[in-house]
Amino acid sequence: MAIAQTSHAGDKILVVLSEAKQLSLQNEKTYETGFYLNELMIPVSRLIEVGYKIVFATPHGKLPHMDLSSDDIRYFGGNSVKYESIKALFKKLQLLEKKDSPVVSLSSLSDHDLSKFSALFVPGGHAPMVDLVTEPKMGRVLKRFHLLKKPTALICHAPIVLLSTLDQSKKYVDAITAGDMASAKVLSKNWIYAGYHFTVFSTPEEISAESGKLGGKLKYYPEDALKTAGAIPNQASKWKSNVVESFELITGQNPSSDEELTERLIKKLKPVLN
């Protein structure tokens, strides 16, 4: 069965990545971060397979970074064929290479350009907590997709970037970090995603990560930050695939949600099958 181009206004998917490579933790500890390989490439590979073109973007057009711990066959179900296939496609995309990198800057995309994309996708890893969460350029993109009611998919830690649409996102994150929930609630008044249902890497999962690979405690938990702003959490047990749809948003809880989120996004895009 051949898969034709979609009937949407555009046949492109915008994939936004963080430029961050280091996450600050409590007590001056740090963690080398970046995107998760499976969270990026499982959706990207399927979207390419069904006929979409992928446009990668970062805030300033700088190269993204990969969380090296995610380059692990375990995140691909232990399937060596799938893992090697994904790695081959990833290498072909040249996403981490300065020469012939496909990455563009968010500022280079006008509102008219954004209207030509069929959907927006943001992969996780802790990196979005560093820059995209308070990046005005990210906020502008999200507001445009929200206005146009176009599918917006975010997985694992990526839902935290929804806070970038706040008028004072940095002050909001500072308030959350300080535990000043009263100020945070004032700063999140009239948030465009208030009342939306969502999932994100859960607090119990974060606590497990803190005692494991992170080696330190986060300054705030994404689940709490989104809930305080007015979104409604729909969390599953740790490490279980969990995808939540709410209006244009499709959110996945953790790395295990990669395939389910991908198929839900493709279904929402309604590809034309021949």
**Which domain CATH number covers 129?**
3.40.50.880
Interatomic CA distance for residues 133 and 3, integer angstroms:
36
Position 162 pLDDT exceeds 60:
yes
In a domain, 4, yes or no: no
Contact indicator for 89, 41 with CB cutoff of 8 Å: yes
Q: pLDDT-based confidence at 3, cuts 50/70/90?
A: very low
Contact indicator for 24, 30 with CB cutoff of 8 Å: yes
In a domain, 1, yes or no: no
In a domain, 2, yes or no: no
Token code pair at residue 244: 């939540």
Position 172 pLDDT exceeds 60:
yes
What is the DSSP annotation of 218-241? Answer: -SS-HHHHHHHHT-EE---STT--
Interatomic CA distance for residues 83 and 71, integer angstroms:
9
Q: What is the CA radius of gyration of the chain?
A: 18
Q: pLDDT-based confidence at 9, cuts 50/70/90?
A: very low
Of residues 264 and 7, more confidently modeled: 264
In a domain, 163, yes or no: yes
In a domain, 5, yes or no: no
Position 271 pLDDT exceeds 60:
no
Which residues have CB under 8 Å from 152's CB, separation 6+?
119, 120, 121, 142, 145, 146, 248, 249, 250
In a domain, 61, yes or no: yes
Q: pLDDT-based confidence at 270, cuts 50/70/90?
A: confident
- Alpha carbon 175 to chain centroid, angstroms: 23
In a domain, 188, yes or no: yes
Contact indicator for 264, 243 with CB cutoff of 8 Å: yes
Token code pair at residue 226: 């989104």
Sheet strands side by side (includes 152-155): 104-105, 53-58, 12-16, 117-122, 152-155, 249-252, 243-246
What is the residue range of 240's domain? 12-269
Query: Amino acid identity of 40?
Result: L
- Of 201, 195, 214, the C-alpha closest to 159 is 201
Burial class (CB in 10 A: 0-12, 13-18, 19+), 74: exposed
Token code pair at residue 55: 């446009």
Structural domains in the chain (count): 1
pLDDT for the residue 6? 39
Write down the number of H helices and E strands in the chain. Answer: 9, 11
In a domain, 218, yes or no: yes
Q: pLDDT averaged over the chain? A: 94
